[in-house]
Structure 1
Amino acid sequence: MISPKRVTLAELPRVRAAASAAGRTIALANGVFDLFHVGHLRYLKGARAEADLLVVAVNSDASTRANKGPGRPIVPEGERAEIVEALGCVDHVVLFDSKDVVPVIRALRPDVQVKGTDYTPDTIPEAAEVRAYGGRVAVAGDPKDHSTTELIGKLEATRR
């Protein structure tokens, strides 16, 4: 079942226009969110604190394979999006197929692009794209003490 929170790339300009008309700011967070864990939750809660609305861009299965390799994702895109949609801190979810989130940024023009703590404001790949139209970048979440790759490793170790 697709949630009313789910939007398409083509609908993002409407989301932007509605937020602007209401005087609300938008934060954009993105990721694969495969094997959802507490680090993901803390990142998204931190991202939500940066603006009035939180839009989360979830990598499609094809985008995930391009970024993580042929064995990923473990969880299909529709299920990953559904998990993210269920969070109270999330206002909208969009699946994206590109290797990076730039097409989403161009369609949404978020007030702030938020990345996890494996980045700094100076290392966020999309920073120039966001700053070019007057947006800002931020880092949110707890220290990078959790990872899906680590969880997969632990699960594989228990099967040996």
Structure 2
Amino acid sequence: ICTAEQLSQKIQPFRQNGQTVVFTNGCFDLLHSGHIHLFREARKKGDVFIVAVNDDFSLRKIKGASRPIFPLKERIEILTAIEDIDYLASFSEETPQKIIARLLPDVLVKGGDWKPEEVVGKREVEDAGGEVEIIPYLEGRSSSDIVKRIVNSAKS
């Protein structure tokens, strides 16, 4: 796992060689097949794929006091096993605005549950000549859906 500064240095040689840097971010608290689909599709968009993960503090602010289900260390351990991901970073802010502005990826990828105009970092990436790509959402494959299924299963 890298800091934004370390990542910025690590991707310089790729940029100098004209390679495309792809970035996505999220909580990834309950990793599921929808996330894997996102990672695979994002990986196809470039040469270097970076995933930034909300730390426990920022995830709690976004999702509520009962989260995370898996602490950052475990989420990172799981994500490290995914071959499509080249570099991992974590961030403590509620949004990835700072890390995106620091890295300025060529392609900023989000899942289909996002509208392009709502993607954090869109302006910075596009102003730098990059693009925002939305990967179509796989119906019924979200962390919220999984939590609902678990709760309903426990009730029956």
Quick check: TM above 0.5?
yes
Partner of 1:3: none
Q: Which is further off, 70-79 or 144-153?
A: 144-153
Q: 1:74 aligns with which of 57, 69, 78?
A: 69
Q: Tell me which residue corresponds to 2:80.
A: 85
Question: In the alignment, what sits opposite 2:97?
Answer: 102
Determine whether 1:60 maps to 2:59.
Answer: no
How far, CA to CA, are the matches of 1:144 and 1:125 in structure 2?
23
Q: Give the deviation of 1:86 after TM superposition.
A: 1.0
1:154 is matched by which residue type in structure 2?
R
Superposed counterparts of 1:31-50, under 5 Å: 31-50=26-45
Question: Which residue identity does 2:141 align to in structure 1?
Answer: H
Match of 1:143 among 128, 138, 142: 138
TM normalised by structure 2 equals 0.92
- What amino acid does structure 2 have at the position aligned with 1:98? E
Give how far 1:159 is off.
Answer: 2.2
Higher helix share: 2
Residues 42-94 of structure 1, C-alpha deviations (whole Å, 9 max, x = no match)? 01111111111100001101111111111111011111112112111100000
Q: Does 1:120 align with 2:115?
A: yes
Residue identity over aligned pairs, in percent, reads 33
Map of 1:28 onto structure 2: 23
Give a deviation string over 1:117-153, Cα, whole Å, max 9, x none: 1123333232112112221110125434311112112
Unaligned runs of 5+ in 2: none
Q: Is 1:18 aligned to 2:6, yes or no? A: no
Q: CA RMSD in A?
A: 1.4
Q: 1:19: Cα distance to partner?
A: 1.4
Amino acid at match of 2:34: G
Letter in 1 for 2:13: A
Question: Amino acid of the residue matched to residue 54 of structure 2?
Answer: N
Q: 2:67 & 2:139 partners in 1: Cα distance? A: 20
Instruction: Give the aligned partner of residue 130 of structure 1.
Output: 125
Picking from 142, 148, 151, the partner of 1:156 is: 151
Structure 1: gaps (5+ residues):
1-5
Instruction: Give the TM-score normalised by the residue count of structure 1.
Output: 0.90
Q: Deviations over 1:3-41 (max 9, x none)?
A: xxx212220220231211232110001111111100000
Contact 2:113 2:137 in 1 (8 A): no
Q: Does the Cα contact within 8 Å between 1:42 and 1:141 map onto a contact in 2?
A: no
Q: Secondary structure at the match of 2:116?
A: coil
How far apart in 1 are the matches of 2:22 and 2:136?
A: 14
